[in-house]
Amino acid sequence: MALHDTLRRVTDRVIQRSADSRARYLQRLDAQKGQSPRRGALGCGNLAHGFAGCAADDKAALAGNRKSNIAIVSAYNDMLSAHQPFERFPAIIKKAAHEAGVVAQFAGGVPAMCDGVTQGRDGMELSLFSRDVIAQATAIALSHDMFDAALYLGICDKIVPGLLIGALSFGHLPAIFVPGGPMPSGLSNPEKARIRQLYAEGKATRDDLLEAESKSYHSPGTCTFYGTANSNQMLMEIMGLHLPGSSFINPNTELRDALTVAATQRAAQLTEQAGNYAPIGRLVDERTIVNAIVGLLATGGSTNHTLHLVAIARAAGIHIDWQDFSDLSGAVPLLARVYPNGVSDVNHFHAAGGLQFLIASLLDAGLLHGDVATVVDGTEQGSGLDAYRHEAWLKDGKAAWRAGTPTSADTSILRPATDPFDPSGGIRLLTGNAGRAIIKVSAVKPQHRIVEAPAIVFESQDEMLAAFKRGELERDFIAVVRFQGPAANGMPELHKLTPPLGVLQDKGFKVALVTDGRMSGASGKVPAAIHLTPEALKGGSLARIQTGDVVRLDGEAGTLDILVDAAEFAARPAATPDLTANTWGTGRNLFGAMRAHVTGAEDGAHSFGEDFA
């Protein structure tokens, strides 16, 4: 199938824009590669430190450079349900590595925090910056020049982007991302949302709420709604960095373990010593990044990735912006309805045909670059993204692959590109005199996508919640929650606002949210213009907006405007926030340098410096 014209045009634009930076990145990659294996250049004392804890056979193999050494970089902790299954993976990987004739060492752990636990709490102000810390921790784990390839164990929101940024800083190493899988389905997501809303209205008790939440988040594995964590898994697969069909296999199952073994075996085959050298820095190119954006749009994925994908691309010397997302959104149809964009969860999506059906449909429509390099090129599945038409299954106790279903098993969840839920993608760019922002419209009904109403300005989500509880918001309005950007307070998620806004919308009021913070992943039915840039602290229009100003948010036309005389608005002084409460407690005092040096949202909201790749 010929490439869609928009896909080709956007890709060409990204390639041209990135020409110099991508060339520099590849030059650095080749310089990093140097002598192979790099540990061959280590002094005797250095090398002895590197294998001192190994068994005798592994010491001998590494001392003589006779075997490849696979790094394990893991985000394991047993407080996060999604990452708890990784406790077992190192032992599985080390055994599989020995059977494949290589060595595997646990190179290092990276932090993993949960937005679900920190939601509405001070700790959420560390959430976005944790991505950069994870990237740095990944670099530290790989800094010893002991490794020939790496396996990355991560699932959730900032963790996979951080691991991938770190992996790309070691772009000369082959890499495979190894998922843990979603928990089995529990209480349905719509029922959970219903009880949350009842609690916000005072019609359910805290015990009722906790029981519902516990039935929803009930076992090891990823949360089952289609938020950032499961969007991460989709991205790793559509970027060719997972084994095909591995994203949504439940934890602690025979197939899940078999896929972990297969990932280890495949990593052993990708090293330079094995003769099939495939460094991740060359796998992730401009076409791969464009494919990632397409996957995000086609599935109605998390708006967090309008930040993360920009930073990931930059780590590979590639420059993308929100206009690229917007242009592709006009051409890429919405093919999936998974909560909060529908009622079903990722287990239902996988059973309906999952990523294999979706990838095949997009390839057949000319909406993906099929000729990209992937971690399975040259295997029995084939090469390029065609290999990802295959689903994983268990054959004689081992992972095997077969053709995915040619038809959706449930068209209320998953549809082909010839019969989409919506002809355009789920994420759109908003522009206007308010600035540039992102909106996720896939979960918003068409009748709610345009709101023109007076603004009510808040400088924290707690202020808005207090006003809601006092009954002051029973009217049409647009909530402006400002000084929530990365430089102000780390750009927290504002999910605590979803239930009250939903209550007001259900009462018939026209409501919306405008913020320089985040409201993504699990964002729902209320229109929300998020990631507004420039942020209020950096001279953005939000700093001059006043309660009573009429604001128009048009999710259909892609506009966001403050309907105030331009001269009057420009003459207003900018509000001066008191941010002292954001600088201490829950470790926030340790992140001052990040807040001081973070880039804007459309530049990925990263703190690495302008030329980190």
Residues 378/379/383/384 CA torsion (nearest 10 deg):
-120
- According to the annotation, is 54 in a ligand binding site? no
Backbone angles phi, psi at 268, to 5 degrees: -65, -30
Both structure tokens of 612: 């980190």
DSSP 111-130: ----HHHHTTSGGGGGHHHH
CA 547 to chain centre: 34
Q: Scanning the structure block, which residue is given the tokens 């068209």?
A: 411
- According to the annotation, is 44 in a ligand binding site? no
CA–CA gap between residue 608 and residue 166 (Å, rounded) = 11
DSSP 493-548: B-GGGHHHHHHHHHTT--EEEEESSB--SS--SS-EEEEEES-GGGT-GGGT--TT
- Residue 159 Cα distances to 101, 182, 207, 316, 610, angstroms: 30, 16, 31, 18, 22
Burial of 20 (0-12, 13-18, 19+ CB in 10 A): exposed
DSSP lists the bridge partners of residue 606 as none
- Residue 246 Cα distances to 86, 132, 179, 312, 339, angstroms: 15, 26, 7, 22, 20
DSSP 41-87: GS-HHHHHHHHTTS-HHHHHHHHTT-S-EEEEEE---SSSTTTGGGG
Cβ–Cβ contacts within 10 Å for residue 508, how many?
8
CA–CA gap between residue 553 and residue 604 (Å, rounded) = 23
Both structure tokens of 474: 């029973």
- 318 and 612 in contact (C-beta within 8 Å)? no
Cβ–Cβ contacts within 10 Å for residue 234, how many?
29
CA–CA gap between residue 385 and residue 244 (Å, rounded) = 9
CA–CA gap between residue 16 and residue 1 (Å, rounded) = 24
Alpha carbons within 13 angstroms on the beta-carbon side of residue 591 total 29
Residues 363/367/370/375 CA torsion (nearest 10 deg):
-100
CA–CA gap between residue 67 and residue 518 (Å, rounded) = 46
Annotated binding site: 156, 223
Annotated binding site for [4Fe-4S] cluster: 156, 223
